[in-house]
Structure 1
Amino acid sequence: MTAENSVQQLLTEWVTPENFRRYGQVIFASEDGKSYDVDDAQLNLQNGTPRFYIMRLHQKGRKFHKITRHAQCTQCLGALEGKDWLIAVAPPNHKTDHPAVEDIAAFHIPGNCFIKLEMGTWHAGPYFEHDTVDFYNLELHDTNIVDHFTHDFLKSHQLEFELKV
C-alpha cells in the first residue's frame, strides 16, 4: 500500500433478518416438518446447474479491497462447526459496475445460521479469526467462471476496507 492509499474501517453488526433484508436473507433452524414459507431461503438457481459444496478457507485477515457480485443466481453461505464469521455486502445495483462506498455494510454471522445473498448483491468475504473454517456454499456450478463480477476499490479509489468487530 502506498502513502496515498487509505483504509476505511467498517464496523460490523450482528446479523438479523431485519438488518440483512436489503442484501438477502438470514436463515435459522426450524422444526422438522415445518411447511415452506417466506422464512425459508427464497432461491433462484434456475439459470444453470446448482452446485452445493464445502469450501475450506484459511484466515485471510479482515482487510479487503475487492468486492464481487453474481447476477445470475442467489448464493447461500454458512460455516460448519458453529464458527462465527464476517462478511461485507452492498445492495444489488445492476446499473453500475461497482457499489457506492457508502452503501457497504459489514455483518458478524453467528455459526448457527446461514445467509442467502440476493442476485446481484455485492460481497467480500467470508472473513474470520479462526485458523480454518469450512463453509457450505450453494450457487451455480459455473458461477465463479461466467457470473463473477469484481470491483477493485484499491485501483479505483485507492481505498482498502478493514472489518472491525
Structure 2
Amino acid sequence: MSKENIVQPLPAEWITPEKFRPYGQVIFASKDGKSYDADDAQLNLQNGIPRFYIMRLHHKSRKFHKITRHVQCTQCLGSLEGKDWFIAVAPPNPEIDEPALADIAAFHIPGNCFIKLEIGTWHAGPYFNHDFVDFYNLELNDTNVVDHFTYDFLKSHQLQFEIQV
C-alpha cells in the first residue's frame, strides 16, 4: 500500500527586515553617499569567485517538495522590472541535515528590494505569478555545482508545500 502525497498550504507573508532576520537580510534603496553599515548586505563570498548574473525563470506553480541550502557563501536574489515574487525559507542550522517542518516560512517580496540569504539558509524558489521574471543572483561561480545541498520532503515525508498568496 503506497502512501498518498500531502500538499501542505504555506501562507506567504509580506517580507519585512524584522520577519526575515532569521534567514538573512532585506535590502531596500538607500540614499546615495550613505556610509556602509549594518543595513547593507553583509556578504560572505570569500570561498571562491563571486558570480553576479541575471537568470530568467518562467512561471511554474508555487508547489515545491525540495529545499536547498548553500554552506560556503551568502546569496543575493532580486527581481528586475519591479516584479514581485515569493520564496520559502527555513533558518540555517549547521548541526542538522534537514530543515524542521515547523520552521518553514514563505515570504512575498516586492520588486523594490532584494534579499540576502545567510550561509546555510534553506530556500525554495523564487516563485511568482508572472509569465517570466528576470532575477539577479549573486553567489559563487560554482555554488550550484559544489555547494548545493537539497532535502526532498516528498521522499522523506510524502509531503509537498504550496505557497498561498
Measured against the shorter chain, the TM-score band is over 0.9
- Deviations along 1:51-97, one digit per CA (max 9) or x if unpaired, are 00000000011000000000000000000000000000000011111
Instruction: Name the counterpart of 1:114.
Output: 114
Instruction: Name the counterpart of 2:79.
Output: 79
Alignment of 1:140-151 (within 5 A): 140-151=140-151
Q: Which runs of 4+ in 1 moved over 4 A?
A: none
Q: Secondary structure at the match of 1:102?
A: helix
TM-score after normalising by structure 1: 0.98
Q: Secondary structure at the match of 2:81?
A: coil
In structure 2, distance between residues paired with 1:91 and 1:60: 24
Q: Secondary structure at the match of 1:61?
A: coil
Query: How many residue pairs align between the two structures?
Result: 164
> Match of 1:164, as an amino acid?
Q
Structure 1 residues without counterparts, runs of 5 or longer: none
Q: Secondary structure at the match of 2:107?
A: strand
Structure 2 residues without counterparts, runs of 5 or longer: none
Instruction: Name the counterpart of 1:127.
Output: 127
In structure 2, distance between residues paired with 1:95 and 1:43: 22
Instruction: Name the counterpart of 1:138.
Output: 138
Report deviation, 1:46: 0.3
Are residue 157 (structure 1) and residue 144 (structure 2) matched?
A: no
Are residue 93 (structure 1) and residue 93 (structure 2) matched?
A: yes
Instruction: Name the counterpart of 1:48.
Output: 48
Report deviation, 1:119: 0.1
Instruction: Answer whether contact 2:3 2:158 (CA < 8 A) is retained.
Output: no
- Deviations along 1:112-131, one digit per CA (max 9) or x if unpaired, are 00000000000000000000
In structure 1, distance between residues paired with 2:16 and 2:79: 16
Report deviation, 1:4: 1.3
TM-score after normalising by structure 2: 0.98
In structure 2, distance between residues paired with 1:139 and 1:83: 21
- Deviations along 1:99-148, one digit per CA (max 9) or x if unpaired, are 01111000000000000000000000000000000000000000000000
Instruction: Answer whether contact 2:89 2:122 (CA < 8 A) is retained.
Output: yes
